[in-house]
Structure 1
Amino acid sequence: MDASPRNHASGGGRGDGYGDEQPHVLVVPYPAQGHMLPLLDLVALLAARGLALTVAVTPGNVPLLAPLLAACPPSSPGILPAGCGENTKDLPAHLFRPLMVSLAALREPLLAWCKAQRRRVTAVVSDMFTGWTQPLAAELGVPHVTFSGSGAHYLAVSHSLWRRMPRRHSPDDADEAVAFPDVPGSPSFPWRHLSWLFRQYVAGDEVSEAIRQIFLWNLKSSCFVANSFTAIEAAYVERPLHDLMEKKVFAVGPLSDAVDRCADRGGKPVVSPACVAAWLDAFDDGSVLYVSFGTQQVLSPAQAARLADALAQSAEPFIWAARSGTAVPEGFEAATAGRGMVIHGWAPQVEILRHRAVGWFLTHCGWNSVLEAVASSVAMLTWPMSADQFTNAWLLAETGVAVPVAEGADVVPDAGQMASAIALAVGKGGTSVRERAAELGRSTAAAVGEGGSSYRDLEGLAIQLSSAVSSHFREHMM
């Protein structure tokens, strides 16, 4: 569709007399729901501060982002088979890496678009998976900003991997520890907990080398922006990560909390929020467990059966948001009807987490879900499965707001052990964790409120992006 300046996600600039030199930010998301939603929240917050922004997406993502669309480059050619989707929700997992690489073919069309605009692009903000926009920004002579929908901790760990390229001494040992000396606190993680993108790297392979280059380009950015806040990972956001990136990290999250926690997040629930709230009203404060594993992960029949057994054995009230395709055992819903609700499909997660009766969240530890729980003062039972979820679970345990119950996309947990963990957590055994979650929830509200740490970082980012002189922007990033 036409990418004229009047179709920007925001209105004009700050009215500071620059005319055609007013700030104009090109935003390039990565087409996956967990990546796009927080970046679009950032777009909304920057637009509210007077910046003009253009969001660039491919035609296949037009229906998802119609209210914000401004630029619509051609579909990405090359590596993907003809007819493939342009969003991870439409692709099998083995095509995620080729999709990430194929998007780089949009660099030249985007460059041509930028050069054709009357109002020149003055900065580029892109997802950490679209680092190929850094050389585009360099050719335009404007600053490049890397955005992470995850936390600053994962931002540091993932980029450390691609810069240092650690290798296993024992190729068959998935538990071999990998140290991160250039990350605050020098943490270490077993090989199996590292980024799946990195673990699939093969030297000399076209896709592997292209993905590494994307992350290396990110390290040349003027600054980084993380959907996080100081209280949850102070060591990673209170000071620039000089040992690794030598650039400032703006912690501006939780972005969904700063925009509107009750806004439509891209789907329609199969059960209305009012109906769920009425059901929850019958239970005591903090007594209900909410269970959800996000939009990408489908439990296997064996995993779903074990989870159902654990929920039945624990005797605690629960809501289970079972993603479409999850095989909930026959008879389970009838057997637990007095204290359980199963939602088949998209659930009003934010409203559920905010209800006073919900005290715990059994989660895969996707960062968006983590932040929604933290903002709602809800403690977590963790079952990380892929991507950044393992390091997120580690961070939550370190912060004192979560208890591990399982890990791995293929693991079939012991129902009895999980039931015991649920009963202990929801009962008095989880009191200290819930108290810490409540404390962190108060810190979240303070961070995004006027004058809070995230509010100040957002204001600082907006000011830097509003600078019409790239060198002035870069001076403030160092």
Structure 2
Amino acid sequence: MIPLLDFTRRLALRSSSSSITITVLVTPKNLSFLSPLLSSRVNIETLILPFPSHPSLPSGVKNIKDLDPSAYPYMIQALGDLHALLLSWITSHPSPPVAIVSDFFLGWTKKLGIPRFVFSPSAAIGYCIFNTLWTEIPTKKNDEEILEFPKIPNCPKYSWSQISSTYQSYVNGDPTWDFIKASFRDNAASYGVVVNSFSA
């Protein structure tokens, strides 16, 4: 959330002289993360939606930082249940959004009927590798197997032990994992990508 909120602040400062309004979707328990942003006198509004429940998420957990990585898939799937509420807000708003920027875990936001930009807090190469994994679905033969990404210029080679544990946990045919695979593939079909391409 912190890199995305920093990007939001920078975007708001750049658009402060225009009539652009930025709306940040947040769940109630995460509203406190927005306090510094909202007190900075930039043109930002909030849309507070309830956090969807999921049977595999511990009670009271509303942020991925409070989860073991093995539970990330359930958080991703739970957030997908915000689709109907968000679509209702977009279609009923007197001045609907012209674009959406959402985290790479939220590929389903591509289906909201407006141009969607993927936000990736990691470097461009990391995003490209993650995208390639989910669009090409390589399967592991053994831990020492070396993965190559020939479509990514100058990409290093990686052993399976260096590959995302979220990807390695993928189970073909499982409804949760099918949702996640579709969501990551929606990232690849989005309008564009906002990525940190600088070391500073």
- The TM tier, using the shorter chain, reads 0.7 to 0.9
Match of 2:69 in 1: 93
Residue deviations 1:65-99 (CA, integer Å, cap 9, x gap): 23546011111123444623111232333322211
Pair member with larger Rg: 1
**Would you say 1:41 and 2:34 are equivalent positions?**
no
Q: In 1, are the aligned partners of 2:5 and 2:34 still within 8 Å (CA)?
A: no
**Displacement after TM superposition at 1:134 (Å):** 0.5
- Aligned-partner residue type, residue 188 of structure 1: K
Residue deviations 1:438-464 (CA, integer Å, cap 9, x gap): xxxxxxxxxxxxxxxxxxxxxxxxxxx
- Aligned-partner residue type, residue 39 of structure 1: L
Match of 1:117 in 2: 93
Q: Distance in 1 between matches of 2:180 and 2:55?
A: 13
Match of 1:155 among 124, 127, 137: 127
Residue deviations 1:343-399 (CA, integer Å, cap 9, x gap): xxxxxxxxxxxxxxxxxxxxxxxxxxxx4xxx4xxxxxxxxxxxxxxxxxxxxxxxx
Match of 1:128 among 89, 104, 107: 104
Q: In 2, are the aligned partners of 1:60 and 1:85 still within 8 Å (CA)?
A: no
SS at match of 1:120: coil
- Aligned-partner residue type, residue 156 of structure 1: C
Q: In 2, are the aligned partners of 1:79 and 1:102 still within 8 Å (CA)?
A: no
**Would you say 1:209 and 2:172 are equivalent positions?**
no
**Would you say 1:189 and 2:161 are equivalent positions?**
no
Change (3 A) 1:167 1:82: closer
**Displacement after TM superposition at 1:185 (Å):** 2.2
Q: In 2, are the aligned partners of 1:156 and 1:183 still within 8 Å (CA)?
A: yes
- Aligned-partner residue type, residue 10 of structure 2: L
**Displacement after TM superposition at 1:205 (Å):** 1.2
User: Greater RCO between the two (CA within 8 Å, min separation 6)?
Assistant: 2
- Aligned-partner residue type, residue 186 of structure 2: W
**Would you say 1:73 and 2:49 are equivalent positions?**
yes
Match of 2:193 in 1: 224
Q: Distance in 1 between matches of 2:176 and 2:81?
A: 13
**Displacement after TM superposition at 1:159 (Å):** 0.3
**Would you say 1:168 and 2:144 are equivalent positions?**
no
Give the TM-score normalised by structure 2: 0.87
- Aligned-partner residue type, residue 115 of structure 1: T
Change (3 A) 1:167 1:143: same
Match of 2:42 in 1: none
- Aligned-partner residue type, residue 98 of structure 1: Y
- Aligned-partner residue type, residue 107 of structure 2: G
Identity %: 33
Residue deviations 1:241-296 (CA, integer Å, cap 9, x gap): xxxxxxxxxxxxxxxxxxxxxxxxxxxxxxxxxxxxxxxxxxxxxxxxxxxxxxxx
Q: What are the residue-to-residue correspondences of 1:454-473 with 2, within 5 Å?
A: none
Task: Detail structure 1 runs of 4+ shifted over 6 Å in the superposition.
Answer: none
Q: Distance in 1 between matches of 2:24 and 2:177?
A: 27
Report which stretch shifted further, 159-168 or 59-68: 59-68
Q: In 1, are the aligned partners of 2:27 and 2:48 still within 8 Å (CA)?
A: yes
Q: Distance in 1 between matches of 2:194 and 2:61?
A: 28
SS at match of 1:84: coil
- Aligned-partner residue type, residue 63 of structure 2: N
Q: What are the residue-to-residue correspondences of 1:401-440 with 2, within 5 Å?
A: none
SS at match of 1:39: helix
**Displacement after TM superposition at 1:127 (Å):** 0.8
Q: In 1, are the aligned partners of 2:171 and 2:177 still within 8 Å (CA)?
A: yes
Q: Distance in 1 between matches of 2:70 and 2:80?
A: 18
Change (3 A) 1:41 1:186: closer
Q: In 2, are the aligned partners of 1:178 and 1:191 still within 8 Å (CA)?
A: yes
Match of 1:84 in 2: 60
Match of 1:107 in 2: 83
SS at match of 1:132: helix
SS at match of 2:105: helix
